[in-house]
Structures are given as C-alpha cells and as structure tokens.
Amino acid sequence: MTLSLENKVALVTGGSRGIGRAIALELAAHGAAVVVNYNKSPESAEEVVKQIQASGGRAAAFQADVSDFKQAEALVKFAIETFGDLGILVNNAGITRDQLIMMMPEADWDAVINTNLKSTFNCSKAAVKHMMRKRVGRIINIASVAGQMGNPGQTNYSASKGGQIAFTKALAREIAARNITVNAIAPGFVDTEILDAMTPEVLEAALKMVPLGRKGKPEEIAYAAAFLASDESAYITGQVLGVDGGMAMM
C-alpha cells in the first residue's frame, strides 16, 4: 500500500529550513497541499514552495512568529482560506540558546520556551477548533531526545521539548474522541544547522552516544512525520516516536 496524503492540507511551522523543510517536501511528495511557515527566512520558504510547485504540488508560504498567539491564529486562518481545509499540523518551529544555567540570561530561557513550547500551544489551539468541527486531524510535534534524556547546557531547550512531550500526551487524551491524533517525534542528532555550531570534537563525543554511530538525516525525520500524518497511523495517538539512532531506548 502506498502512503497517500492526497486531498490533505498540511501546515509546517518553521518549514523553510532543516527538518521543517524536509517535512514540507515529504508531505507534498505524498500529495498534500502544504503551507510553509517561516519567521525570518522568506527566500528559503519561497524556495521550498517553488520546489513543491515544480513537482506538480500545491504550496504557499506565510510569515508568522508563532510564539505570538495572534500571529499563529492568522497563520492557521491563512491555511484554511488558501486551501480550504487544515488536516495536518506539524509544530516544528524551534530555536536553541545553549548555556550553563549559572550564565543563562533570563531572556534566553524565555525565548526558547516561547518559540518551542508556547508556539505548540498557540498553533494547536487555533488548528484544533477547525479539526474538531471536521472530526478529523493529525497534530505532530517535533520534540527532541533532549526532552527525554536532558542535555547539559540546554536546560531551556530540554524543558521546552519535555513540555512538548507532556503537551502531546495531554492533548491526545483531550481530543481523541473527535478522531484527532496527537503524536510527537523525538529526533536525536540530525544533520542541520544546529549541529554546525558544535566543534568537531564535541560532535565526535556526541555521536559516541548514538548506537547506530552516525548523524540522522532530515529526510529520516520527514518519513516518520509523513507516516504519522497518514490514514495508516489512525490508531496511534499520544506516542513519542524516537528517530534518534537508538539514543533514548526506553
């Protein structure tokens, strides 16, 4: 059976780069119309849209700072008005501001919590209103292995991702009766711009924690997202799918 997202409409926050970009392209490859959200990268977002359209798909870009509730509402409204529906929400927008807690500015804590966790609340709240009326939907939160294991120098990031995981489970219980599933993906070390900030020595040490012994690819996260967005995953909700090379075996 070929996984199909034909006649589905998806919204990917932070969809212009890295994991978000890979997810947007993968959902479109399976037939979904995709809204590519960005905050500060219009050129990258438009490149994703053009790539989808060149392959015969439907896509549109929309600027919004999803840590702001009104902007998140406007983003969801745009998706529904542009493509007539919204059945798949991927909460992927995220940042890091790494620092040991003794030296971490309050502003860095707030920025990470707001961008990574509050945005998940903002977009989900806006999207759920529509999904509940339609009595169907898929919400996929891109968390992190840091939210499961913790990571030194990342108390803010780990807290935001652990919060996403708890949010996933709570919301899944709230809206399951309306045929809306809510799941999380917890990537490990994935080959994106975030890893570029690590020195080769630090990265080498980090990869020793990965049983499979390598970095993940953004496309490998995207494959998991496409499955969780599909009808084939209809009996899966409240779960955390680790795509981490075995780092956080439970």
What's the average pLDDT block by block, 10 residues per block, for the chain (250 residues)?
A: 91 97 98 98 97 98 98 98 98 95 98 98 98 98 96 94 98 98 96 77 85 95 98 98 91
Per-residue pLDDT, 105:
98
Which residue's entry shows tokens 């759920």?
128
**pTM, whole model, 2 decimals?**
0.95
Per-residue pLDDT, 1:
53
Active site residues: 157
What domains are there in the chain, each with its CATH number? 9-241 (3.40.50.720)
Per-residue pLDDT, 211:
94
Classify the C-alpha dihedral 100-101-106-108 as positive or negative. positive
Quick one: which of 186, 192, 195, 152 has its CA closest to 166? 186
**Beta bridge mates, 10:** 34, 88
From the number of C-beta atoms within 10 Å of its C-beta (0-12, 13-18, 19+), residue 22 rates as buried
From the number of C-beta atoms within 10 Å of its C-beta (0-12, 13-18, 19+), residue 213 rates as exposed
